[in-house]
Amino acid sequence: QNILVIHGPNLNLLGIREPSIYGTVTLEEINRNLAKLAEKEGIGLDCFQSNTEGELIDRIQQAGAEKTDFIIINPAAYTHTSIALRDALAATRIPFIEIHLSNIFARESFRQKSFFSDMAVGVISGLGAKGYELAFNYVLGRK
């Protein structure tokens, strides 16, 4: 199967960005770890990051046209703002896990609302970089 991992805005700065909230693991380390797991399991994996809402939407639309079986997405700040990104996921109908490094429910009230959670297969929030691996393992064991 083919898994697409999508990282939203500012996640390219992981490791140096507010490490007390988001940890010290870099995005490259997260992607490399997932790539290693995917290779071991014979799974197709693509990791995509953008700071631009339109590029994220284009990538999701592209996934709809490809053979993507599952999406793991951290919409970052767009979690709380982007109906357009939500609509893109709804249009593709590809099942997805929503993931956040921090526990968004333990933070500012504006972070406690997500435009994605009601559509997600599940949500992982607050488990740091480990969350991506947990999501990946869930997808492997699914069906």
- Report the largest interatomic distance among the alpha carbons of the chain, rounded to a whole angstrom: 41
Distance separating alpha carbons of residues 51 and 12, to the nearest angstrom: 8
Please report whether residue 121 would count as binding ligand DQA according to CB under 6 A: no
Q: Are strands 2-7 and 44-49 parallel, antiparallel or unpaired?
A: parallel
Please report whether residue 49 would count as binding ligand DQA according to CB under 6 A: no
User: Rounded to the nearest whole angstrom, what is the least distance from the CB of residue 50 to ligand DQA in the complex?
Assistant: 13
User: Residues annotated as binding site for substrate?
Assistant: 74, 80, 87, 101-102, 111
User: Rounded to the nearest whole angstrom, what is the least distance from the CB of residue 106 to ligand DQA in the complex?
Assistant: 10
Stretch that binds ligand DQA, among 33-41, 52-60, 63-71, 101-109 (CB under 6 A): 101-109
Task: List the one residue from 31, 68, 92, 102 that touches ligand DQA (CB under 6 A).
Answer: 102
Distance separating alpha carbons of residues 101 and 84, to the nearest angstrom: 22
Q: Residue 18 to residues 24, 33, 34, 126: CA-CA distances in angstroms?
A: 9, 22, 23, 14
Distance separating alpha carbons of residues 55 and 70, to the nearest angstrom: 19
Q: Please identify, using beta-carbon distances, which residue of 2 and 9 lies nearer to ligand DQA.
A: 9
Residues near ligand DQA (CB under 6 A) are 10, 74, 76-77, 79, 100-102, 104, 111
